[in-house]
Structure 1
Amino acid sequence: MKLHKESTGTIIVASVLFVIIAALSVYFLEMWALLILIPILIIYGLVFWFFRVPTRDILDHVENVIAPVDGKVVMIKEVEEDEFLKEKCIQVSIFMSPLNVHICRFPVSGKVIYKKYHPGKYLVAWHEKSSTENERTSIAVESATNHKILFRQIAGYVARRIVFYCNEGDVAKAGHEFGFIKFGSRMDVFLPLDTEIICKIGDKTKGGIDVIAKMKA
């Protein structure tokens, strides 16, 4: 299994803690050590599972809006986006549990025209106000269909680290990685009002693969 580059520090810390706990358990508990080691081993395995990088065949997309993350669609709503777009949009929000792949991908192809990091709170990621009050990164792309699309990485109650690799002027390719969020969170995508929304609330998405909307050319 291939692991994401963001896993290095976390896995080193988890490995050291696992060895220490295992040694202390065997020394002090002897035959009862398994009562501690089994659940700790499961947690240790979940750390590796969280940072997995699945192999996916990413296609080229022009009009399609691709799911930026693995997760569950929790909101489809008309909102006023007042940070960059300054207009009414359709907001599609996808919540990621700690068991989902947490690679963040461009939802559309085009050019990165805006990026801004916002410090903030750590409300639970499915809370509606988390989109504007939590720690987050906003990124906008001018798409190949000449639309401006904004999307946000949002930290949640558990997620405390947002990583992003793109800069203004970079080429965005739908389905390809631009960042990572550690341990649960959500992604919001803000689309033009005339966008055809294909997904619905409750849908499970596979980042880089599933089409969630289609924009007019």
Structure 2
Amino acid sequence: MKALPGSSVPTQRGLPIAKEGFPFIAVSGFVAVYCLALGFGAAALFFLAVTCFIVFFFRDPERAIPDAEGVVVSPADGRVLGVEFVDEGEFVSGQMLKISIFMSVFNVHVNRIPADGVVTNISYYSGKFFSANLDKASKNNERNAVNLDVDNGQKIVVVQVAGLIARRIVCKVRKGERLRRGERFGLIRFGSRLDVYLPPDMKSEVSPGDNVLAGTSVLGYLT
């Protein structure tokens, strides 16, 4: 594996597709070929289109990760829903800056770590499946929280939130792992949301309505 220019994050080998998508691609592709063999042309075209969409959904392009000191990058592709200060008590204690990002089915769904640090806790919460662009999804939907102690001693929490269509959260990291900014750590299948809780003294570089890219777009700088 080799690192991207200006980054210590290694690139992945092989096709730029998340491996979690391979079973879906294989099944849909097989059905398309089977329908074609039986002479069901319309059905074959339908499942071919489904296969193409699944490949598109699970795409996992390489990203140029900023290497400036203290930079915090977006953990997800999508649209910024909100930037607000909250008194967070579920994952950490005290006031935090919360940035919420909505991922539609057309966004890349691979999630990346926002800053260098060590995973101190991972918490899974079962829940409902409200549309991920609603505020109540943050507290009521199925979600997975990754607590990160950043190298400068500050704390960040990244919360993967399932949505109306997304029914499967994938988190690949473990407690105690040291991770690098921009490193892949999981994904959510078929439309979802990420909430990232940041130190309250960090000035946000994004606003509601902004479109961001995981590992590339800068959310702010740690002080």
Do the structures match in fold with TM over 0.5?
yes
Once residues 202 and 23 of structure 1 are traced to their aligned partners in structure 2, the CA distance between those partners, rounded to angstroms, is: 47
Report the CA distance between 1:59 and its aligned residue: 3.8
Counterpart position of 1:68: 75
Identity rate, percent: 35
Report the CA distance between 1:12 and its aligned residue: 2.1
Q: Which runs of 5+ in 1 are unaligned?
A: 28-32
Query: CA offsets, 1:136-170, max 9 Å, x none?
Result: 10011111221111110000010011111111111
Counterpart position of 1:58: 65
Q: Which runs of 5+ in 2 are unaligned?
A: 1-14
Report the CA distance between 1:23 and its aligned residue: 4.9
Report the CA distance between 1:38 and its aligned residue: 4.3
Structure 1 runs of 4+ with >6 Å offset: none
Counterpart position of 2:17: 3
**Pair 1:163-2:177 in alignment:** no
Counterpart position of 1:13: 27
| Cα distance change, pair 173–113 in 1 and its aligned pair in 2 (3 A) | same
Query: CA offsets, 1:60-100, max 9 Å, x none?
Result: 35411101011110111111211121112111001111111
Report the CA distance between 1:132 and its aligned residue: 1.3
Q: CA RMSD in A?
A: 1.7
What amino acid is the match of 1:199? V
Once residues 149 and 2 of structure 1 are traced to their aligned partners in structure 2, the CA distance between those partners, rounded to angstroms, is: 28
* SS of residue matched to 1:73: strand
Counterpart position of 1:213: 220
Counterpart position of 1:77: 84
What amino acid is the match of 2:86? V
Counterpart position of 1:120: 127
Q: Is the 8 A contact 2:159 2:194 kept in 1?
A: yes
In terms of fraction of residues, the more helix-rich structure is: 1
How many residues end up aligned between the 2 structures? 209
Higher-Rg member (1/2) = 1
| Cα distance change, pair 171–60 in 1 and its aligned pair in 2 (3 A) | farther
Q: Normalising by structure 2, report the TM-score.
A: 0.87
Counterpart position of 1:154: 161
